[in-house]
């Protein structure tokens, strides 16, 4: 075994260095795969939504589009976001098996940040698609509202909104589900 000054003073430990290198490579590969996955998302184009079968055929794309909109910043890929929102809107407006009501509360929560309306709509639709047999309107609202809160919190460019801030507090206190049954109108 050769004597190395760096090993002697503890600056280089071959075992720790190998572990650090492995960890760095693992983190880099994960970040790369997530970035690649986000970049590979294609917004449905030239879709035909006329029959129930058409709407059913596009359900997987509604789910992936809802996820992509949730993960993509409001200032990122603006043209692609616009097309994605139009797809969600077209699907929701024509789907017979999913009914989303945009009430006063949703309008108030999205008046300062209109993008939150699409967060609500897309996440509600996603929940409805994924829970056909056990669908519950209050749970769908809960999921969609929590998605709005999450998007508001991570979106750096959001405008401060007292209604959303109040909803965040209600959620932190664990009262969002009861708020939906009593005040979500």
Query: Mind listing the pLDDT tens digit for each residue in 20-66?
Result: 555 555 555 555 555 444 458 999 999 999 999 999 999 999 999 99
pLDDT at 12 over 60: no
88-103 pLDDT, tens digit each: 999 999 999 999 999 9
pLDDT-wise least confident of 8-12, 85-89, 132-136, 153-157: 8-12
| Long-range contacts of residues 68-77, Cβ cutoff 8 Å, at least 24 apart | 68/38, 68/41, 69/118, 69/119, 69/122, 70/119, 70/122, 70/123, 70/147, 70/150, 70/151, 71/38, 72/38, 73/155, 73/156, 73/157, 74/115, 74/155, 74/157, 74/158, 75/157
Q: 57 and 97 in contact (C-beta within 8 Å)?
A: no
Residues 6+ apart with CB under 8 A from 69: 81, 84, 85, 88, 118, 119, 122
pLDDT at 2 over 60: no
pLDDT at residue 37 in the model: 47
The pair phi, psi for residue 16, each rounded to 5°, is: -65, -40
Task: Give me the residue spans of the domains in the chain.
Answer: 8-40, 43-183
3: confidence class by pLDDT, cuts 50, 70, 90: low
Would you give the DSSP letter of residue 156? T
CA distance linking residue 157 with residue 73, whole number of Å: 9
Q: 150 and 116 in contact (C-beta within 8 Å)?
A: no
Buried b (16+ CB within 10 A) or exposed e, 158-185: beebeebeebbebbeeeebeebbeeebe
């Amino acid at each position: 075994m050769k004597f190395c000054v760096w090993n002697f003073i503890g600056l280089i430990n071959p075992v720790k260095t190998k572990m650090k290198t492995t960890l760095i490579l693992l983190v880099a590969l994960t970040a790369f795969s997530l970035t690649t996955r986000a970049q590979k998302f294609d917004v449905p184009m030239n879709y035909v939504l006329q029959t129930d079968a058409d709407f059913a055929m596009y359900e997987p794309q509604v789910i992936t589009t809802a996820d992509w909109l949730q993960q993509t910043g409001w200032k990122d890929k603006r043209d692609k976001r616009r097309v994605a929102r139009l797809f969600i809107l077209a699907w929701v407006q024509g789907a017979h098996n999913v009914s989303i009501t945009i009430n006063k509360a949703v309008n108030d929560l999205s008046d300062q940040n209109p993008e939150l309306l699409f967060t609500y709509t897309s996440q509600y639709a996603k929940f409805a698609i994924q829970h056909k047999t056990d669908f519950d309107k209050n749970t769908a609202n809960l999921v969609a509202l929590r998605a709005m809160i999450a998007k508001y919190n991570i979106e750096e460019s959001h405008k401060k909104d007292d209604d959303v801030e109040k909803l965040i507090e209600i959620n932190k206190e664990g009262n969002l589900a009861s708020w939906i049954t009593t005040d979500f109108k």
